[in-house]
Structure 1
Amino acid sequence: MDFGTTVADLRKEKGISQTDLAAQLGIHKNVLGRYERNEVFPSIDIARKIADILEVSLDYLTGKEDVQIDKITSQRILEVAKFEEADRNHIFSVIDAFIAKRKIQTILQ
């Protein structure tokens, strides 16, 4: 999905009008409309603000990632990244076990 469509879809999912989002960004709603139609693209600062307001990563917003990671999950991952290597490895071992279990369940279904 392209940048503009992603912004428009997320904005609508969250029940935010173009006028309200534009006001939060400090831009005119016509400019936001042009972003949503992919006629122009925002500066990196405005794109970051859009991602923050819509509670998604900038990677998701720009199409680099196809999985939407919510803010709480992202914060938890960043917190784990600060752990000592041994602790991170324990946590990732548990996560890897759950991923493997899920893959096996999917194959068996």
Structure 2
Amino acid sequence: MLSFGQRIAVLRKNKKMSQTDLANKINSSVSVISRYELDKMIPSIDSAKKLAKELDTTVGYLLGENEENKLKKNPEMLKRFEDIIAFDDQDRKYILYTLDALIKNVKLKSIT
């Protein structure tokens, strides 16, 4: 399991950002980013939120609470979830039943 600092470093490098780039984006310094990545310093909640936003992930992922770094970050999927949540219980039940059937169908197709 990656540490907080390792997660920041990996995500930053995946985005082809330097420590300077990241520091500038969150109004910090290169030395602070370096200390985060070396796990010598833990950011404030506000700084962790800024890091997550700039690295296109969640604070939960950075903290190791989940392993999905893009969990719930896809705007198209979020919009769909919001629409489904707004429906009444019966409509939501039908939509989820249909969605489950479609997902199962695709998974079975990929097995064969």
TM-score of the alignment, normalized to the shorter chain, above 0.5: yes
Q: 1:54 to 1:81 in 2, by over 3 A?
A: farther
Q: Structure 1: give runs of 5+ residues left out of the alignment.
A: none
Q: 1:66 to 1:45 in 2, by over 3 A?
A: same
Distance (whole Å) between structure 2 residues aligned to residue 82 and residue 7 of structure 1: 35
CA-to-partner distance for each residue in 1:43-82, whole Å, 9 max, x for gaps?
1111111111111122122111112323325633345334
Counterpart in the other structure of 2:17: 16
Contact 1:56 1:71 in 2 (8 A): no
Distance (whole Å) between structure 2 residues aligned to residue 78 and residue 3 of structure 1: 30
> Structure 2 matches for 1:16-35, cutoff 5 A?
16-35=17-36
Q: 1:13 to 1:93 in 2, by over 3 A?
A: same
Counterpart in the other structure of 2:95: 91
RMSD value, Cα: 2.2
Identity %: 33
Counterpart in the other structure of 1:47: 48
Q: Structure 2: give runs of 5+ residues left out of the alignment.
A: none
Distance (whole Å) between structure 2 residues aligned to residue 73 and residue 65 of structure 1: 21
Counterpart in the other structure of 2:75: 72
Distance (whole Å) between structure 2 residues aligned to residue 40 and residue 74 of structure 1: 34
